[in-house]
């Protein structure tokens, strides 16, 4: 088995074809650092900020654009995680890299780095699955259906002056089953705003490029 290259990976990894081998090794180290991160909502912004700083620093040193550096790092991360998921040995991984148009010495550096860190990468895949992290291994539950019902108490014999607040019963169907939620309008509005923000972010150029690596 070899890695089936996703569309655009070779293009994103183009910078690697002109880097010196010691810089290739540095890119490998940064990629695995990124993969080992355990992003949560509370630290996601810090992670993005730290990654941006590292990318800008490397780009300045190499006199390359930050976008080219980031794309190459993500391409490497994609290759490493795909190889780890498929438990490729070094020779198979080496053969997969030939499709990127890399020289033999560059392929050797990347393949040896993968071989030395294969077990660590497999742990990353396993932990991501166990924790429900969804940005690399595709374990996110798939959306199937969403239904809702508005409940309003219109009368009460015991409390004549009671203020009746509507509530919403939500049912979310996913590939992993159903989940029922009970919420009020204010909370539902906050959920709506959060989802709207997430959808807007998903339409950005940067997000679309990331999604290409996690499908």
- Specify whether the CB–CB gap between 170 and 181 falls below 8 A: yes
What's the mean pLDDT when you consider all of the chain? Answer: 76
pLDDT(74) > 60: yes
Instruction: Look at the block and give the residue holding tokens 């660590």.
Output: 120
Quote the pLDDT of residue 139. Answer: 43
pLDDT(120) > 70: yes
Band (109; pLDDT cuts 50, 70, 90) = very high
Quote the pLDDT of residue 210. Answer: 62
Q: Which residue has the higher pLDDT, 176 or 53?
A: 53
pLDDT for 144-172, tens place per residue?
888 888 877 666 666 566 566 777 888 88
Quote the pLDDT of residue 127. Answer: 65
- Specify whether the CB–CB gap between 189 and 168 falls below 8 A: no
- Cα separation, 7 vs 212, in Å, equals 8
Q: Which residue has the higher pLDDT, 109 or 35?
A: 109
Q: In what side-by-side order are the strands of the sheet with 143-151?
A: 143-151, 167-174, 177-184
Task: Determine how many CB atoms are found less than 10 A away from the CB of residue 4.
Answer: 10
pLDDT(64) > 60: yes
3-state secondary structure of 148: strand
pLDDT(131) > 50: no
Mean pLDDT throughout 91-96? 79
Quote the pLDDT of residue 14. Answer: 84
Quote the pLDDT of residue 110. Answer: 92
- Cα separation, 24 vs 8, in Å, equals 19
Quote the pLDDT of residue 162. Answer: 58
% of the chain at pLDDT higher than 70: 71
| Cβ neighbours of residue 152 closer than 8 Å, sequence gap 6 or more | 164, 166, 167
**Alpha helices, H only, 63-103:** 66-85, 90-97
pLDDT for 200-209, tens place per residue?
877 777 666 6
SS3 content of the chain, % helix, strand, coil (to 5): 60, 10, 25
């Amino acid at each position: 088995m070899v890695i089936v290259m996703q569309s655009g990976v070779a293009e994103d990894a183009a910078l690697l074809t002109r880097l010196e081998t010691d810089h290739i090794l540095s890119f490998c180290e940064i990629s695995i650092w990124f993969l080992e991160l355990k992003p949560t909502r509370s630290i996601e912004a810090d992670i993005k900020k730290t990654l941006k700083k590292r990318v800008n620093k490397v780009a300045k040193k190499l006199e390359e654009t930050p976008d080219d550096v980031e794309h190459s790092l993500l391409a490497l991360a994609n290759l490493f995680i795909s190889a780890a998921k498929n438990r490729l040995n070094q020779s198979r991984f080496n053969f997969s890299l030939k499709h990127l148009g890399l020289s033999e010495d560059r392929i050797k550096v990347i393949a040896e780095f993968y071989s030395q860190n294969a077990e660590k990468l497999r742990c990353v895949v396993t932990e991501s699955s166990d924790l429900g992290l969804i940005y690399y291994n595709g374990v996110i539950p798939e959306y199937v259906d969403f239904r809702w019902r508005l409940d309003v108490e219109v009368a009460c014999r015991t409390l004549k002056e009671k203020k009746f607040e509507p509530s919403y019963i939500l049912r979310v169907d996913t590939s992993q089953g159903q989940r029922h939620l009970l919420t009020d309008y204010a909370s539902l509005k906050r959920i709506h705003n959060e989802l709207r923000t997430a959808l807007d972010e998903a339409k950005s150029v940067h997000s679309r490029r990331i999604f290409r690596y996690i499908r």
